[in-house]
Structure 1
């Protein structure tokens, strides 16, 4: 009986090992990023920043239905926020500006995947974002059409105003072809407060949508 149990255990283990598969790949795509400000029960969402992401991945398939995936991506995230400031020459007059905030971010998404069919899967996980640098550029809204870039204005470093960690849980879907090409989409919900010097209950978060294409290769 012990020998039979041992043989059965070895057979199950062997089947499990054969079912496991490791694949590496690369991906890139489009990001739709916004900033959301909350304070005193009020919230405001910025205009979007249309940007990109690029990086690599590793997928570890546990069975025909389940897999784990880790990635390393770069993306300049952020948003365009409306700002109203007093005219220094006439304090009773207010000027409208738009501040483009760009958060150059290293993303480390880790997810669990469930395969509905061989090619179609859904995923859930968490995106750990490390903000490498943060810049802000002002444009003037004169109400006469397109925004006007301020003369001589340069991007200002605001890294000391932003927390470095941007944690964003996400849901996604992927469709893969037999040749290794795949298409995916995700919604990442920012939960970390990015405002380093927020007053009271003020909170600044960054959420973003990713839609892209990639290629996987390798496997056991």
Structure 2
């Protein structure tokens, strides 16, 4: 194990010595198609996300991108009342703090990305329940960056925290389903050229 750690350290130092690190700030935004898992009679809700980023490019193959975003999530629920079905859009709005690693194919514009996100709830419109104040998520996706800094991306964001924390009995009904955020994102970003 010690040999592995020493080898990894030496490789990291070598990569940093060869790399000319470029730091570029940018803006990002796009479409959220969100839902909550394990809820009967719900469907996806369409909304948006908007935020900023800093792309830290180590070489033509690899970069790390810290991000801060405002993300409107939730789902569209369906319920039965007074002899008919009604639908309602449930809002879960977050400030998300994330960082994705981007791996460029052959040093070109196509890239894969993956990384964690901490989502802090800023508002919701739930009446009878109180969703958790935060979520941890994993983000994965792919994209293409043009030479001018314009990037198009598709991402899947999977929540890891049971946002309702159901685990018990309420009015004789046993709750044990894990309710997770799930968001598909289509977006665009722009990184500013820096000298």
- TM-score normalized by the length of structure 2: 0.80
- Residue aligning to 1:53: 49
Aligned to 1:186: 155
Pair 1:213-2:188 in alignment: yes
Q: CA deviation at 1:118?
A: 2.2
The equivalent residue for 2:18 is 16
Kept after mapping to 2: 8 A contact 1:59/1:69:
yes
After TM superposition, list the pairs within 5 Å mapping 1:89-104 onto structure 2: 94-104=83-93
Between Structure 1 and Structure 2, whose CA radius of gyration is higher? 1
Superposed displacement of residue 51, structure 1? 0.5
Per the alignment, residue 4 of structure 1 pairs with none
Assess if the C-alpha contact under 8 Å between 2:166 and 2:177 holds in 1.
no
- Relative to 1, partners in 2 of residues 1:196 and 1:63: Cα closer, same or farther, differing over 3 Å? same
Task: Tell me if 1:81 matches 2:77.
Answer: yes
Q: What do the CA deviations read for 1:44-70 (whole angstroms, capped 9, x no partner)?
A: 472111101111001111222111111
For residues 126-205 of structure 1, what are the structure 2 equivalents within 5 Å? 126-136=116-126, 156=127, 161-196=130-165, 198-199=167-168, 200-205=175-180
Do the aligned residues in 2 keep the contact of 1:60 with 1:67 (CA within 8 Å)? yes
Give distance in 2, aligned partners of 1:53 and 1:217.
20
Match of 1:72 among 47, 68, 72: 68
Q: Give the 3-state SS of the residue equivalent to 2:67 in structure 1.
A: strand
CA distance in 2, matches of 1:14, 1:203: 42
Offset, 1:127: 2.1
- CA-based RMSD: 2.2
1:17 Cα deviation from its structure 2 partner: 4.6
Q: Tell me by how many angstroms 1:128 deviates.
A: 1.6
Specify every segment of 5 or more residues in structure 1 that has no aligned partner in the other structure, as ranges.
Answer: 1-11, 38-42, 88-93, 137-155
Aligned to 1:124: 114
Extract unaligned runs of 5+ from structure 2. 1-13, 169-174
Runs of 4+ deviating beyond 4 Å: 12-15
Deviation at 1:198, TM superposition (A): 4.8
**Aligned-partner Cα distance in 2 for 1:14–1:165:** 35
Q: d(CA) in 2 for partners of 1:27 and 1:14?
A: 28
Alignment TM-score, normalising by the size of structure 1? 0.71
